[in-house]
């Protein structure tokens, strides 16, 4: 009977420990929970079985034993049910039926119909059972068949290889357990009418637990491998040190194997050995920890290290592609995910896929995922855990091998940036709490990094677009500019050609008229001479105009140049003034000029400066007012050489002053006063004066008068005095 006690003492703690560990590992997980309940049921059964042996007269203990038996079956089936993936709905109805029947039989076991009494016997007690027991047997048979068939079905339809393996082992374990347990507790007693074999029940439970432990370690069921391995480390180190000490004590003769001889231990040696034990324990434990970790747990990683590395990668880039690559790399390297993909939302409602799913993405899938994410508060969703997942989504996830997805959100705009899609882990096992925690943090960090990268992309794109538009506009401008230049050249060419063509006939007219006027063709009357002189004036005007136009075109084409010869400016001014006096008189304009004495000779272009002088005086005449017009022509050489034509004419409007000296420009009031002006005269004057190294003099007040002129520095002087 002592052996029974040993069995109970050993089995119960182990079952409880493993049950508790598995339960605490992930209380939210149904599988873990049902295993916990199974452990309780197993412990209850073990205890009540033992106690019913010891206190054979207590009916209730017997009943409790059988109740526990039913509960064991019930919890095992629930355990199996929880292990099936959320996918198969095949057994839904039958599970409910099973549940109900289990409750019924459990209740039944407490009734007198089940166990009537127990009568102690010599070779162990025998139990008198009622007809409820038959129902119980039927229930057992069905339950057994039901569980086995469900397991086989699940195994066939398991989605991953790892699930298949797990289910195979568990099926095997359950079968062995059921056979042994039922055999020992039900069949054998029926046949032999001896219930002593039921005492071995706990051992069979232990066998089942062992099988489970094997599944845990080898095929990572429940993923409590780490716990087991650590415990292994502890056990081995304790065991080793303990064994050493035991043998030391033994050899020192302080412990004998006979239990009736008292153990005599010298307190000093004992104390020393205890100290040794304490000192050696930790290093030994560390050694074993490392060993077992290296042997069994190669997939471990430190979350903080991974995050540090990941952060380094994130910080090194602003490109969305590189961020996504870094994330994929990290996930694959540490969590050993098989496929990772990103879907990024672009501003114009299009999407970009990146990663393993790049080629095969579809719109429908994205919609379903987004909907699912909207309705769920969690950031990271696991396909297998989604309650009430739509069939479409489930199938799509299956098709694309997606086991989890997470929403990436722009923290400031609260808008979704995209979705992260994860496949299954390479090992096939679930995502650990550590994995989930890591993924959650990664998602947060990469959301921020990605949103920055996307904004950066937007800005870049904007820049590129802007640049392209500017380039295009510039190109257009350049083309237009070219056209304008060509047009300008054409115009200038035309002017040049026209001027040339006009010159020859002009000179001929001049020539002949000149000859007749001078009497070379015979004597002419006074009137004839007068008329011809008028004709001459006009032809002179024409020549002047043509020359001006030609000069303008030369300026544009760069062929314009000024000569530098000794010129008597005083004479020129006198000449021109004289020539224009008649015109002035006819318009009742007073034209004054005082020729200065001893005016120096200057290095100028005679012909061109003459044109300038003539132009200024001519303008003054034509832009005078109707009454009281007065023009003063002044020439001085006191400090600088200054030539000025001062009039009291119509003046220049202030807003037109800056344009006045440009090619072909005519002020509004000038156009009115003289419709036939070319707008070329003072433009030429400006160019000539500038080419000669002088400065233009211009002042004007609209309606009051103007002053036009030029100034040269004294370095233009050739001789101090003019020679007559």
Partner 1 sequence: MDDKKRILIVDDDDQIAKMYTALLTIKGFATKRVNNGEDALAEVQEYKPDLILLDVMMPKISGFDVADILHNTIETKEIPIIMLSALGAKEDRDRAAASGVVHYYVKTEIDTESIAKKIDEILSQK
Q: Which residues bind partner 1 (CB under 8 A)?
A: 500, 503-508, 510-512, 514-515, 518, 520-521, 543, 546-547, 554, 559, 561, 563, 607
Residue 505 CB, nearest approach to partner 1 (Å): 7
Residue 631 CB, nearest approach to partner 1 (Å): 26
CB neighbours (10 Å) of residue 697?
16
d(CA 231, CA 237): 10
CB neighbours (10 Å) of residue 280?
15
Residue 508 CB, nearest approach to partner 1 (Å): 5
- DSSP at 333: I
Which residues, including other chains, have CB under 8 Å from residue 571's CB and lie 6 or more apart? 722
User: For residue 548, what are its two tokens?
Assistant: 């001006």
d(CA 10, CA 325): 53
Q: Which is nearer to partner 1, 292 or 611 (CB)?
A: 611
DSSP-derived 3-state class of residue 414: coil
Q: Which is nearer to partner 1, 356 or 605 (CB)?
A: 605
- DSSP at 200: G
Q: Which is nearer to partner 1, 187 or 543 (CB)?
A: 543
Q: Which is nearer to partner 1, 117 or 514 (CB)?
A: 514
Residue 475 CB, nearest approach to partner 1 (Å): 38
Residue 634 CB, nearest approach to partner 1 (Å): 28
| Beta pairing partners, 118 | 127
Residue 633 CB, nearest approach to partner 1 (Å): 24
| Beta pairing partners, 696 | 710
What are the DSSP calls for 464-498, one per residue? HHHHHHHHHHHHHHHHHHHHHHHHHHHHHHHHHHH
Give ∠ CA 570-574-575 in degrees, rounded to 5: 120
Residue 519 CB, nearest approach to partner 1 (Å): 10
Residue 518 CB, nearest approach to partner 1 (Å): 6
Report phi then psi at 666, rounded to 5. Answer: -130, 130
Residue corresponding to tokens 């050739």: 718
Q: Which is nearer to partner 1, 349 or 520 (CB)?
A: 520
Q: Which is nearer to partner 1, 103 or 512 (CB)?
A: 512
Q: Do β-strands 705-712 and 641-647 pair in parallel, antiparallel, or remain unpaired? A: antiparallel
Q: Which is nearer to partner 1, 464 or 508 (CB)?
A: 508
Rg (CA), the chain: 58
What are the DSSP calls for 622-634, one per residue? HT--SSSEEEEEE
User: For residue 71, what are its two tokens?
Assistant: 């509960």
Residue 530 CB, nearest approach to partner 1 (Å): 18
Which residues, including other chains, have CB under 8 Å from residue 487's CB and lie 6 or more apart? none
Residue 552 CB, nearest approach to partner 1 (Å): 14
Q: Listing from the earlier edge strand, what are the strands of the sheet with 415-422? A: 351-355, 340-345, 415-422, 404-410, 380-382
Q: Which is nearer to partner 1, 213 or 516 (CB)?
A: 516
Residue 689 CB, nearest approach to partner 1 (Å): 18
Residue corresponding to tokens 């400031």: 412
Determine the angle formed by the axes of helices 433-517 and 526-557, rounding to 10 degrees.
160
Residue corresponding to tokens 């609209």: 702
Q: Which is nearer to partner 1, 149 or 557 (CB)?
A: 557
Q: Which is nearer to partner 1, 371 or 507 (CB)?
A: 507
Q: Where are the beta strands (DSSP E) in 454-588?
A: 565-567
Q: Which is nearer to partner 1, 491 or 559 (CB)?
A: 559
Helix, strand, coil percentages, rounded to 5, for the chain:
65, 10, 25
Nearest to 716 by CA among 638, 606, 641, 643: 641
Q: Which is nearer to partner 1, 494 or 512 (CB)?
A: 512
Residue 698 CB, nearest approach to partner 1 (Å): 28
């Amino acid at each position: 009977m002592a052996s029974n006690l040993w069995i109970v003492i050993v089995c119960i703690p182990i079952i409880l420990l493993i049950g508790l560990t598995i339960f605490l590992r992930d209380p939210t997980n149904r599988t873990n929970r049902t295993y916990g309940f199974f452990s309780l049921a197993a412990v209850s059964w073990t205890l009540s079985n033992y106690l019913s042996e010891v206190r054979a007269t207590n009916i209730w203990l017997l009943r409790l034993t059988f109740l526990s038996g039913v509960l064991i079956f019930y919890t095992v089936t629930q355990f199996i049910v929880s292990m099936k993936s959320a996918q198969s709905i095949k057994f839904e109805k039958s599970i409910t039926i099973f549940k109900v029947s289990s409750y019924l039989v459990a209740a039944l076991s407490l009734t007198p119909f089940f166990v009537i009494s127990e009568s102690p016997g010599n070779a162990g007690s025998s139990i008198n059972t009622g007809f409820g027991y038959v129902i119980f047997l039927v229930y057992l048979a069905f339950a057994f068949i039901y569980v086995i068939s469900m397991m086989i079905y699940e195994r066939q339809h398991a989605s991953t290889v790892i699930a298949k393996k797990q289910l195979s082992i568990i099926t095997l374990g359950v079968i062995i357990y059921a056979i042994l347990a039922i055999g020992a507790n039900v069949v054998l007693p029926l046949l032999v009418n001896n219930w002593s074999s039921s005492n071995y029940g706990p051992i069979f439970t232990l066998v089942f637990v062992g099988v489970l432990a094997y599944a845990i370690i080898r095929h990572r069921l429940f993923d409590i491998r780490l716990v087991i391995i650590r415990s292994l480390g502890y056990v081995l180190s304790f065991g080793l040190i303990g064994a050493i000490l035991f043998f030391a004590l033994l050899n020192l003769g302080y412990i004998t194997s006979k239990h009736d001889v008292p153990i005599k231990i010298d307190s000093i040696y004992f104390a020393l050995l205890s100290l040794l034990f304490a000192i050696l324990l930790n290093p030994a434990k560390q050694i074993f920890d490392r060993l077992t970790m290296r042997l069994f747990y190669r997939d471990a990683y430190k979350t903080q290290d991974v995050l540090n590395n990941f952060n380094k990668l994130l910080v090194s880039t602003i490109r969305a592609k590189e961020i996504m690559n870094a994330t994929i790399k990290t996930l694959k390297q540490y969590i050993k995910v098989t496929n990772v993909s990103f879907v990024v939302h672009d501003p114009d409602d299009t999407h970009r896929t990146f990663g393993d799913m790049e080629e095969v993405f579809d719109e429908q899938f994205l919609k379903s995922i987004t909907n699912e994410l909207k309705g769920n508060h969690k950031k990271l969703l696991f396909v297998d855990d989604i309650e009430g997942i739509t069939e479409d989504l489930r199938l799509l996830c299956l098709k694309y091998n997606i086991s989890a997805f997470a929403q990436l959100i722009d923290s400031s705009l609260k808008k979704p940036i995209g979705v992260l899609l994860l496949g299954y882990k390479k090992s096939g096992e679930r995502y650990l709490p550590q994995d989930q925690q890591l993924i959650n943090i990664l998602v947060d960090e990469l959301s921020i990094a990605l949103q920055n990268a996307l904004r950066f992309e937007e800005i870049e794109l904007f820049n590129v677009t802007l640049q392209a538009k500017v380039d295009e506009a510039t190109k257009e401008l350049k083309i237009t500019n070219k056209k304008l230049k060509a047009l300008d050249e054409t115009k200038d060419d035309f002017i040049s050609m026209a001027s040339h063509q006009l010159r020859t006939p002009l000179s001929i007219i001049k020539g002949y008229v000149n000859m007749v006027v001078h009497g070379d063709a015979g004597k002419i009357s006074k009137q004839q001479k007068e008329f011809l002189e008028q004709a001459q004036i006009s032809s002179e005007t024409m020549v002047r105009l043509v020359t001006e136009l030609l000069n303008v075109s030369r300026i544009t084409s760069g062929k314009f140049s000024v000569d530098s010869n000794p010129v008597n400016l005083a004479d020129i001014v006198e000449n021109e003034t004289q020539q224009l006096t008649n015109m002035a008189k006819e318009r009742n304009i007073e034209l004054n000029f005082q020729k200065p004495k001893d005016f120096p000779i200057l290095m100028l272009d005679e012909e061109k400066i003459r044109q300038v002088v003539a132009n200024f005086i001519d303008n003054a005449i034509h832009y005078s007012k109707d009454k009281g017009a007065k023009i003063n022509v002044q020439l001085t050489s006191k400090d600088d050489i200054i030539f000025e034509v001062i009039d009291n004419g119509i003046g220049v409007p202030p807003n037109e002053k800056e344009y006045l000296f440009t090619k072909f420009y005519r002020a509004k009031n000038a156009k009115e006063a003289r419709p036939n002006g070319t707008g070329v005269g003072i433009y030429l004057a400006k160019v000539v004066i500038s080419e000669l190294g002088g400065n233009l003099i211009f002042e004007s007040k609209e309606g009051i008068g103007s002053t036009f002129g030029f100034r040269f520095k004294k370095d233009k002087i050739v001789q101090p005095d003019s020679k007559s």
